[in-house]
Structure 1
Amino acid sequence: MYSYYLMLGWRSLRRNPILTGLMVLTLAVGIAASVSTLTILHVLSSNPIPHKSSNLLVPVMDNGPLDDYVPGEPNSPRKSSQMTYRDANNLLALGFGSNRTALYSVRMLVESPKRELGLIGVRGIATTSAYFPMFEVPFRYGSAWSAEDDKNAAKVVVLSQNTSEKFFGNDNPVGKQLRFQQQDFTIIGVLAPWSPLPHYTNLLSGKSAVVGEEEIYIPFNTAITNKFENNGNLSCSGPTGPGFQGVLDSECIWIQFWFETNSATQNSQLKDQLDAYTKDQKKLGRFPRQAPNGLFNVMQWMEYLKVVPNDSKLSTWLSFGFLALCLVNTVGLLLAKFSARAAEIGVRRALGASQADIFKQFLIETVVLGLVGGVLGLALSFLGLWGISHQTADLAVIAHMDLTMLAITFVLSVAASVLAGLLPTWRACRVTPAIQLKSQ
């Protein structure tokens, strides 16, 4: 029976191509506008590491001065979400959580093995060996450095695949040397393509959350020992001593820190350990604000930093408002179409079709309309995303449709057409057969 209704629906749509075309186009345009903006929001708000995001945690400890401090008033996220070198070094040594890592952004000049390239600026991060297993960073060649390399400030480096290919082509460069800042570093690993969206591991370096990967990775202690300057955010709440050592000894916050835990219970224990640490530091005259510590998992962290801007959310709501307007127009067109078929409905009712049968037939016809509108809407969505991707480098990365959004397009199209068809279908099944037969 349902296959028969599908056939009737398809024939009905073909019977009046102009009206059908208007309904399909109206529905498709609304779907395309909604899906295009929803795709951007979907990528920006997606979980980059879903199976362990609840166990990767960022600590927030407010070491600011009492000047102009209002208890309970939130600080600027980018100011309060990093920490001092002193705190990072202490937390690495204390061993809280199952694992931990500190990192900061660096930018250095590299003497390219290809002489024609000369000196090339590269950017990356100084971090600990724990960074790679914590964030499940894949390797193409070699491996990360060891904890012993961390301790000894070894001059080793891991390259991204793009950086490796820039300097060495498709050859395996592990064991070769690169000269950074007039010092020789041994290449011990090359990453496989790895660019999580958003770039959650290092959101405080002033970079985009979606564009640009790290080009090099060097040990944290190596960068500190060799006084490699921070290339990210730096916020100081008081005077600092001269030079790089002055920054290390100061209350300047510039280092990103991550913990890894194994369970929700350990998350709670970690919070208690952080509170105990800041309490001890207060005895030394630090953390005068007495502000509570924060501990954010990956998704909470991205929400805290407003990775998804408010204008993206607003654009999505506006696009769905436009879809609602398109549905109102579709309702009007369906009412006109179904009203013109009152005589047909009267004959069917006279031949024994129930109101439920009429309702099913016309509702299935709207489903057919939704499927056709979904196909056209999908094509318009791809066209819209292509146009969006040419606006900025950020949008070029995120303006693409995955399988989830592909499925959502058709579900949204069918749901929208069914919703638009409820009133016209209900009106159609209420037609009185006797009146229609008398008028014939």
Structure 2
Amino acid sequence: MFRYYFLLGVRSLRRNPALTALMVLTLAVGVAASISTLTILHVMSGDPIPQKSDRLFMPLMDNGPLKGYTPGEEPNDIQMSYRDAMNHLSAKIGERRAAMYGILMAIEPARKDLPAIESEGVATNKDFFAMFDTPFVHGQAWTENDDAKATDVVVLGNKLAEKLYGKTNPVGQYLTMIGHQFQIVGVLGPWEPSPRFYRFAGRNATFGEQEDFFIPLASAIRHEITHAGGMGCTGDTEPGWQGRLNSECTWISFWFELKTASLRQELQSYLDNYAADQRKLGRYMRQAKNKLFNVMEWMEETKVVGNDNKLSAWLAFGFLMLCLVNTVGLLLAKFSVRASEVGVRRALGASRKEIFNQFLIESSVIGLAGGVAGLILAFGALALIAMQSKQLTVVAHMDWQMLTITFVMSVTAAIVAGLFPTWRACQVTPAIQLKSQ
């Protein structure tokens, strides 16, 4: 019977094409608005590295001075000083450790047809690549010896490598950066975790494209390459590059990778002991609580999905409810004109249950059509959003989960909207309808 009622539903759509089109459009607009907003929220709040997000930890420690400090006050910056980063790297705690900061460098392509390029990159250490599961299409990461000797080597992102060298393998070639020759040791494949949780600007996660290149942190320090991003300084600092390295200014991001999530308490004990040891040296005088955050906790702490994003989602679903109310009215109008048809069917022996099933399946057909139209509108809306900036390009895309949700939501919405009109249609009294014919 389902197939029969489904065909009846499809056929009924052609009886009043204007009214049907209006219902489908109303449902499609509501679904598109809610799905577009939900898709962006879904991408922003999703786990960017699910295979190990519970084993990666960002520490939050307060190395600020006592002057002007209120007990319980949160640190001004979520990064750490160069001194602390180097101490953690040498402590050998955990399976891997990665320190990093963003940099901007001028690149001089070997090709004469390309002008000099200012590119965004990351200064980090070897563990970065294995820690964050970065894919390589050519070559590999640099070695621990390169970190120790501050060797001028570079790993290119796939987009910059293709721009400079086309489809060829550039590993082994030299690239001029800030006037120095850096040897290319590897090229990454497409890698755009969303958000870029490993690097944060202030307390807002970065949504953007993959960095163009990666160089050893020690090499960046040797060349005195300044950071691109925020820096927090709460005390007096000596002038010059060495003054920055010796200062308490926070400008380096740091991550630990543990073998298992159960070793979290061991890492917490290490941080507490480290802070106590530094306190004996005249640092960490605030005695603030040292905190650890895994990836998802860190995203929550830094408010990746802010209240404005959540409010937008609620407003979109409110608009969908408004569209459903309008759909209910249109279905009432559509079903009311078919009272005589219902009366004849009831007189021929059709039960209320059969009438109910017929009209509910017809509502589902409308929902399916609305889902297809809503999906098209949603893709259009996301494309328009993506055109606004490179950051929005990363989050404004739909995956298979959202495709499934779109159809389920549209059909469910149509069924819910059709319950009351369908119930009203089932209340038709056959005798009254037959007498009026």
Shorter-chain TM-score bucket reads over 0.9
Distance, in Å, in 1 between the alignment partners of 2:115 and 2:375 is 48
Identity of aligned residues (%): 56
Could you tell me how far 1:207 is from its partner in structure 2?
A: 9.6
Superposition pairs of residues 335-346 of structure 1, within 5 angstroms: 335-346=332-343
How has the CA–CA distance of structure 1 residues 117 and 350 changed in structure 2, closer, same or farther, with 3 Å as cutoff? closer
Partner residue, 1:155 = 152
Deviation at 1:118, TM superposition (A): 5.6
Report whether the alignment pairs 1:139 with 2:139: no
| Cα distance per residue 1:225-257 (max 9 Å; x no partner) | 332222222111101112111111111100000
Alignment partners' CA distance in 1, 2:185 and 2:309: 41
Report the Cα distance in structure 2 between the residues aligned to 1:126 and 1:360, rounded to whole angstroms: 64
Partner of 1:157, secondary structure, is strand
| 2:287 match: secondary structure | coil
2:77 to 62, 77, 80: 80
Partner of residue 5, structure 2:
5
Asked if 1:91 is matched to 2:91, the reply is no
Q: Residue 238 in 1 paired to residue 235 in 2? A: yes
Where 2:102 maps in the other structure, the secondary structure is strand
- Give the structure 1 partner of residue 176 of structure 2: 179
**Which of 240, 258, 263 is the equivalent residue of 2:260?**
263
Partners of 2:310 and 2:125 lie apart in 1 by: 36
Q: Using the alignment, how far apart are the partners of 1:72 and 1:436 within structure 2? A: 76
Q: CA deviation at 1:60?
A: 0.8
In structure 2, the CA distance between the partners of 1:262 and 1:438, relative to structure 1 (3 Å rule), is: farther
Quote the residue 1:55 is aligned against.
55
Secondary structure of 1:63's counterpart equals: coil
| Separation of aligned partners in 2, 1:429 and 1:67 | 76
The equivalent residue for 1:34 is: 34
Equivalent residue for 1:254? 251
Correspondence for 2:349: 352
Aligned amino acid, residue 32 of structure 1: A
Deviates more, 1:380-389 or 1:360-369: 380-389
Residues paired across the two proteins, number: 437
* Higher mean C-alpha displacement, 191-200 vs 427-436: 427-436
**Corresponding letter in the other structure for 2:316:** S
Kept in 1: contact 2:77–2:231 (CA 8 A): no
Which amino acid is 2:199 matched to? N
Letter in 1 for 2:418: G
Given candidates 360, 364, 368, the residue that maps to 1:371 is 368
Instruction: Determine the structure 2 residue equivalent to 1:45.
Output: 45
Normalised to the residue count of structure 1, the TM-score between the two structures is 0.93
Q: Secondary structure at the match of 2:234?
A: coil
- Aligned counterpart for 1:293 among listed residues 290, 293, 315: 290
1:423 to 413, 420, 425: 420
Higher mean C-alpha displacement, 263-272 vs 201-210: 201-210
Per-residue deviation, 1:69: 3.0
Shift of 1:422: 1.2
**Distance in 1 (alpha carbons) for counterparts of 2:296 and 2:273:** 25
Superposed CA offset, 1:261-317 (max 9, x none): 232211232122212221222232222222212211222222222233433322221
CA distance in structure 1 between the partners assigned to 2:213 and 2:181 by the alignment: 14
Cα deviations across residues 356-410 of structure 1 (Å, max 9, x unaligned)? 2222111111101100111111122222223223333322333222222222211
CA distance in structure 2 between the aligned counterparts of 1:12 and 1:166, rounded to whole angstroms: 56
What amino acid does structure 2 have at the position aligned with 1:396? T
In 2, are the aligned partners of 1:206 and 1:232 still within 8 Å (CA)? Answer: no
Q: What displacement does 1:34 show? A: 1.3
Q: Does the C-alpha gap of structure 1 residues 205 and 131 become closer, same or farther in structure 2, counting only changes over 3 Å?
A: farther
| 1:323 paired to 2:341 | no
- Once residues 10 and 171 of structure 1 are traced to their aligned partners in structure 2, the CA distance between those partners, rounded to angstroms, is 55
For the Cα contact (< 8 Å) 2:205–2:304, is it kept in 1? no
Tell me, in whole angstroms, the C-alpha distance in 1 between the residues paired with 2:108 and 2:379.
Answer: 43
Q: Please tell me the residue identity of whatever aligns with 1:246.
A: G
CA distance in 2: counterparts of 1:72 and 1:364, whole angstroms: 60
For residues 288-347 of structure 1, the C-alpha deviation after alignment (integer angstroms, 9 at most, x for no partner) is 222212211222222222233433322221111111101001111111222222232233
Q: CA, structure 1 residues 184+386, in 2 after alignment: closer, same or farther (shift >3 Å)? A: closer
Structure 1 CA distance for aligned equivalents of residues 228 and 333 of structure 2: 64
Equivalent position amino acid for 2:394 in 1: V
* AA at the equivalent of 2:50: P
Aligned to 2:25: 25
TM-score, L = length of structure 2: 0.93
* Inter-partner Cα distance in structure 2 for 1:287 and 1:427: 72
Residue 203 in structure 1 maps to residue 216 in structure 2: no
How many angstroms apart in 1 are the aligned matches of 2:117 and 2:376? 42
In the alignment, the residues of structure 1 paired with residue 89 and residue 301 of structure 2 have an alpha-carbon distance, to the nearest angstrom, of 24
Q: CA deviation at 1:206?
A: 9.9
* Secondary structure of 2:154 counterpart: strand
- Aligned-residue RMSD, C-alpha: 2.1
Find the counterpart in structure 1 of residue 311 from structure 2: 314
Letter in 1 for 2:181: D
Secondary structure of the equivalent of 1:125? Answer: strand
Partner-residue secondary structure (3-state), 1:14: coil
Runs of 5+ unmatched residues, structure 2: none
Separation in 1, partners of 2:172, 2:129? 19
One-letter identity of the residue aligned with 2:313: T
Separation in 2 of the partners of 1:320 and 1:73? 37
Aligned partners of 2:106 and 2:377: how far apart in 1? 45
> Aligned partners of 1:173 and 1:13: how far apart in 2?
60
Q: Does 1:221 align with 2:199?
A: no
SS at match of 1:54: coil
Structure 1 unmatched ranges of 5 or more: none
Q: Is contact 1:104–1:205 with CA below 8 Å preserved after alignment? A: no
